[in-house]
Structure 1
Amino acid sequence: MKKQLFMLLACTSFLWTGCQQEKEIHARIAESPKTFCNPVNLDYRFMVIEGGDGIREAADPVVVPYRDMYLLFASKSSGYWYSKDFVNWDHVIIPDTVLPVEDYAPALFVHNDYVYYVGSTHGKGMLYRSNDPVAGRWEPVREIWSYWDPAFYVEGDNLYMYYGCSPIDPIHARVLDLNTLEEKSEVIDCLNSDKEHHGWERTGEQNELPRRPYIEGAWMTEHNGRYYLQYAGPGTEWKSYADGVYVGDTPMGP
């Protein structure tokens, strides 16, 4: 599951004289904040459940910078949002006939001034693109293997795709050609649960249950030549739901 709102830059100074005297603490909002935390104030709706009660849901959020704004997609949200400051968000409502925005766990990437979208599937899913997402204009590109909980990472001419959401199967990765979308690599297994060594991965409100956890929500970040593959466990039904990360020298590990 994936994160973001205000950064407070605490300008704190203490002056101690004999460990007894203390000055006031002053805080201010940074002029150009670059770190954000929950909650983001979104007008997300109740999802549609045929023959049942609605559930308010905006799960699996993903954000990408696009031109001079941010785009935010979330599951079951009848559309997506855009913002220039990460504080004020406008909702673009999209019918399913234009874009399958009711799909779970969307994935996005940006290439050649287009933003690309695919939802979670159990096999092949249609990849869409838009160069005018504010107006809600999208076009299909081609079907790709997207599977469940997909996530993209772009580097050079490579489009890396990570996916997986299972108590049994690992997080997988494959490489596509960024321009042709043809597969360039075999599928590799990146990581799986290791509850014997990672206590936080154990299921239950207090990580007390013996069954295997769900491992899901892959997300790749590069920083200073190191690659951080984030994932989530042990399952969204537990208060102990959390994120972990594996670090590697390349986007495909090890």
Structure 2
Amino acid sequence: MKYFKIILINLLFISCKDTSDSGLAHQEQSVKTEKRNYKTYCNPVDIDYSYMSHYRAKNKVSYRSGADPAVVNFKGRYYMFVTRSHGYWSSDDMLNWTFIRPQSWYFKGSNAPAAAVKDGKIIVYGDPSGRGPIIETDNPELGDWKTNFAVLNPPGGIQDPDLFVDDDGKVYLYEESSNKWLIRVVELDPDNYYVPMGEQKDLFTLHPDKYGWERFGQDHKSDLEPYLEGPWMVKHKDTYYLEYGALCTQWNVYADGVRTSKSPFGPFEYAPYNPISYKPGGFLKGSGHGSTVKDNQGNYWHYATMAISVNYKFERRIGI
């Protein structure tokens, strides 16, 4: 049997080989003249990160930072919204990003902004107070954002929001950032200023006793309750993938996981391939609280928050 395999392989090789001089010359020429016609990238994403300041005791700490990316594909172009950036970025290739300082912008100090596409517009929520309106525009390159000032004001406010538009046009708000509360969801009324329809529903929390990567602290070595934050919903075919950030942004094991369901309200099942985004080593560490976007070729890309933490523990960058 082994002998037969050897003979077969040799026959296949001989049948594909061009033994003529011209054929060999052509192959050599192809190798010499072949050029790469693609580009690649290196994390972090090359954008002009905002400067932050933090007062600790009597010392003022200044550092650059970008975190909590919400990326959407709008009419074949990509738009990235980042915490406290006084604007946002656009790109047609995910490699070269242009900063847009919009004409009107209600959330100049936005924390973990949410973004989605609905009815030919980008809708955004990210008021740092945890209570505020959803804004929208059909021209994000100009940035003439508009709002009706209908304020979203659920009990406890809104932290780390995500706006999800389903195939049937229904809109959902997922949110939470806490080591105590569960991720929650509520349906919004798109025909009535996106006000909540019904009560928020609790979905799930972390289980560090069952899943080691959900354990808190540097190298997962803390017994403190870990933070659950940064939900982001993706639907593929008939399955809902609810991504979530685990632990806390300053740790090297900051990561994203996912749970799946057949309904936007759950119940959600833990995915056995978790975590989906994880980088505990290197100069640029961690990869949590992110978003996933489909490109124009049908591929999915995941964006995440990564920590440098040289000048200050919340010194962060964006990675793909």
The question of whether the paired residues in 2 share the 8 Å contact of 1:94 and 1:101 is answered with no
The question of whether the paired residues in 1 share the 8 Å contact of 2:109 and 2:128 is answered with no
Deviation at 1:69, TM superposition (A): 1.1
1:148 to 135, 159, 167: 159
Equivalent AA in structure 2 for residue 212 of structure 1: E
| Relative contact order higher in (CA < 8 Å, ≥ 6 apart) | 2
- Segments of 5+ residues of structure 2 without an aligned counterpart are 1-8, 11-30, 268-320
**Distance across 1 between alignment mates of 2:142 and 2:37:** 32
1:185-226 deviation digits (Å, cap 9, x = unpaired): 321111112111011111121212111000001011111211
The question of whether the paired residues in 1 share the 8 Å contact of 2:184 and 2:202 is answered with yes
Is 1:118–2:121 an aligned residue pair?
no
- Segments of 5+ residues of structure 1 without an aligned counterpart are 1-15, 18-23
Deviation at 1:38, TM superposition (A): 4.2
Equivalent AA in structure 1 for residue 162 of structure 2: A
Change (3 A) 1:250 1:28: farther
**Distance across 2 between alignment mates of 1:122 and 1:164:** 14
- Judge which range, 38-47 or 101-110, deviates more: 38-47
1:134-160 deviation digits (Å, cap 9, x = unpaired): 122112232223601000110113111
**Distance across 2 between alignment mates of 1:234 and 1:127:** 28
Equivalent AA in structure 1 for residue 51 of structure 2: F
Counterpart residue number, 2:262: 249
Please give the residue correspondences for 1:119-198 in structure 2 after superposition, counting only pairs within 5 Å: 119-141=126-148, 142-145=150-153, 147-155=158-166, 156-180=168-192, 181-198=194-211
Equivalent residue of 2:138, what SS? strand
**Distance across 2 between alignment mates of 1:27 and 1:201:** 44
1:45-85 deviation digits (Å, cap 9, x = unpaired): 21255783322111101111112311111012121111112
**Distance across 2 between alignment mates of 1:253 and 1:102:** 32
**Distance across 2 between alignment mates of 1:37 and 1:222:** 28
The question of whether the paired residues in 1 share the 8 Å contact of 2:87 and 2:105 is answered with no
1:86-107 deviation digits (Å, cap 9, x = unpaired): 1111101248x73213211001
1:21-54 deviation digits (Å, cap 9, x = unpaired): xxx9x996669x9xx9843211222125578332
2:250 to 234, 237, 240: 237
**Distance across 1 between alignment mates of 2:98 and 2:202:** 38
Equivalent residue of 2:141, what SS? helix
The question of whether the paired residues in 1 share the 8 Å contact of 2:80 and 2:90 is answered with yes
1:163-197 deviation digits (Å, cap 9, x = unpaired): 00001111111111222223223211111121110
Q: Between Structure 1 and Structure 2, how many residues are aligned?
A: 228
Counterpart residue number, 1:209: 222
The question of whether the paired residues in 1 share the 8 Å contact of 2:49 and 2:64 is answered with yes
Equivalent residue of 1:206, what SS? helix
**Distance across 2 between alignment mates of 1:160 and 1:73:** 19
Q: TM-score, normalised by structure 2?
A: 0.65
Equivalent AA in structure 2 for residue 70 of structure 1: Y
Equivalent AA in structure 2 for residue 179 of structure 1: D
Equivalent residue of 2:244, what SS? strand
- Judge which range, 180-189 or 58-67, deviates more: 180-189
Equivalent residue of 1:200, what SS? helix
Change (3 A) 1:139 1:49: farther
The question of whether the paired residues in 2 share the 8 Å contact of 1:47 and 1:77 is answered with no
Equivalent residue of 2:196, what SS? coil
**Distance across 2 between alignment mates of 1:189 and 1:167:** 14
2:67 to 50, 59, 77: 59
Q: TM-score, normalised by structure 1?
A: 0.80
Is 1:43–2:39 an aligned residue pair?
no
Counterpart residue number, 1:88: 96
**Distance across 2 between alignment mates of 1:243 and 1:71:** 21
Greater percentage in helix: 2
CA RMSD in angstroms comes to 2.7
Larger Rg: 2
Equivalent residue of 2:134, what SS? strand
Deviation at 1:240, TM superposition (A): 1.0
The question of whether the paired residues in 1 share the 8 Å contact of 2:244 and 2:258 is answered with yes
